[in-house]
A and B are shown apart, each in its own frame.
Chain A
Amino acid sequence: MRGNADVHELIAPGSLAAVLELMAREPGKWTPIAGGTELMVAFSAGRLTASRLVSLWGIADLRFIETTADAVAIGAGATFLDLRRSATIQADLPLIARASSWIGSIANQGRATLGGNLVNGSPAADSSPALLVYDAEVELISVRGRRRIPYCEFHTSYKSNAMAPDELLYAVHLPRRWAHHRQYLRKVGTRRAMAISKVALAATALMNDGVIGEIRLGAASLGPFPMRLVKTEAALAGQPLTRETAQAARQALLTEAKPIDDIRSNAEYRRTVAANLLGEFLLELRQEGGRA
């Protein structure tokens, strides 16, 4: 253990309002810490740069899953165990339940939060591809008020996001309109538990008489942050699901994906496997016979 608890301050104001006041008073000076599954790893390794941390753990105002007739709101402090155990998430947003079940281990899932996963901003974030294909919006909060932006505009570059220094991620909002969509999510990593993705792909699509309607593709580890594959989507939307369409989409993905070589994999492998995952999804769509 190379971390030194003497050089890091940690406080727990205990309420959302108190945390926001602190962040307004000294914007950018305090690093929020929720379940610690990312920041405490950095701390133990002696590479935690934040010297002042403010705890979000145990703030009930951030830990909720609320359902209305047409949407689900997930508090940023909801853990991945909360999500995989939620009957609403399992029924209406099954890809989120599945992604939650393969994040780290049970011990990690009980501490790691949805908000932490997004704010940390890893290109390989496990929850992101599912959120992208469900048209998620994120709600940001500060003493100045609240605002909502599409999740696909949240990440702005590697490990950077659209939040102002005094803002906190408050909730993720998801429409409940996926019952008739074909849905797909697959993560490729070294083992089922504890592995960071080499590449992951999520998809939702509507089929009408063999023609692809609305389609969303969300990817992890194909760029500097999790992102929609909009050019690949464009190659598929409105097209009949033929071999030619699948080939064109594969080419679009191979061009659009911008993965890197790193310790877990290399760009060529990631690009090829992502294209194969897309192929698998399109095959599933075809085998479903375009059933709505």
Chain B
Amino acid sequence: MNTPRAIIRFTVNGERMIVQAQPMKRLLDVLREDLRLTGTKEGCGEGECGSCSVRMDGELVNSCLVPVLQAEGAVIQTVEGLARNDELHPLQQAFLDHGGAQCGVCTPGMLMAAAQLIERNPNPSIAEIREALAGNLCRCTGFTRIFEAVAVAAEKARLEKVHDAW
């Protein structure tokens, strides 16, 4: 059986996109294969590790668990959508500065989960950071440097907001 392809329209990193895909194709695979956005990684493929985390309509999702038909009309942000032109997102810079990334497989998912957190909660405690990233597994860093990086980035983002307000 060959399921007919569906036409899916959505917005990815601010750009309107149209793809043709089987409705059950995972959003993860559409991002990586059809749109060549390979920043999003596949880890476990069962929603346990968070490597494939992206933001969809303002919430964090595991893109391996989203059939692309359910992304019809959605606004999606992937790790490629964090930096503005040549300027890294404060989270990306903090991960670099504080050793929050080593092998890099978990990093895009960590960044998206952290971005989701600090947008909703600009002043997270370490406990809140740990909870927000509890669905993202890292086998290199031991997590501590990641939590530090998120705390630093949140503080920097707050300062920039104050600066902008002036």
Q: A5-B22, A9-B23, A40-B26 are in contact. Are A106 and B135 (CB under 8 A)?
A: yes
Output the residue of A10, A40, A107, A108 with the most chain B CB within 10 A: A107
| Cα distance A205–B126 in the bound complex, in angstroms | 35
Q: State which residues 108-166 of B face A: CB under 8 Å.
A: 113, 116, 131-132, 134-136
Of A11, A35, A44, A51, which is within 8 A of B64 by CB? A44
Report the minimal beta-carbon distance from A106 to chain B, rounded to whole angstroms.
5
Of B3, B50, B72, which is within 8 A of A107 by CB? B50
- Assess whether A107 is in contact with B113, with CB atoms less than 8 Å apart: yes
Chain A interface size band reads 35 or more
Q: Which residues of B contact A105 (CB under 8 A)?
A: 50, 134-136
| A188 sits at the interface (CB 8 A) | no
Output the residue of A7, A36, A55, A194 with the most chain B CB within 10 A: A36
Q: Which residues of A contact B105 (CB under 8 A)?
A: none
Kindly supply a per-residue 1/0 record for chain A positions 112-135, scoring 1 wherever the CB is within 8 Å of any chain B CB and 0 otherwise. 000000000000000000000000
Q: State which residues 1-58 of A face B: CB under 8 Å.
A: 1, 3, 5-12, 33, 35-37, 40-41, 43-45, 51, 53, 55, 57-58
Query: What number of residue pairs across chains A and B have CB atoms under 8 A from each other?
Result: 113
Q: Which residues of B contact A37 (CB under 8 A)?
A: 47, 65
| A81 sits at the interface (CB 8 A) | yes
| Cα distance A104–B135 in the bound complex, in angstroms | 7
Stretch in B55-63, B82-90, B96-104 with 4+ CB within 8 Å of A: B55-63
Chain B interface size band reads 35 or more
- Assess whether A58 is in contact with B3, with CB atoms less than 8 Å apart: no
- Assess whether B47 is in contact with A41, with CB atoms less than 8 Å apart: yes
- 10 pairs of A and B residues whose beta carbons are closest in the complex: A105-B135, A193-B134, A5-B22, A110-B59, A10-B23, A40-B65, A5-B24, A5-B25, A8-B24, A44-B45
Could you tell me which A residues sit within 8 Å of B by CB distance?
A: 1, 3, 5-12, 33, 35-37, 40-41, 43-45, 51, 53, 55, 57-58, 81, 104-108, 110-111, 192-194
Using A7-B3, A9-B24, A45-B45 as known contacts, list a sample of 6 further A-B pairs with CB atoms less than 8 Å apart, ordered by residue number in A: A1-B45, A10-B69, A41-B46, A107-B61, A110-B59, A194-B134
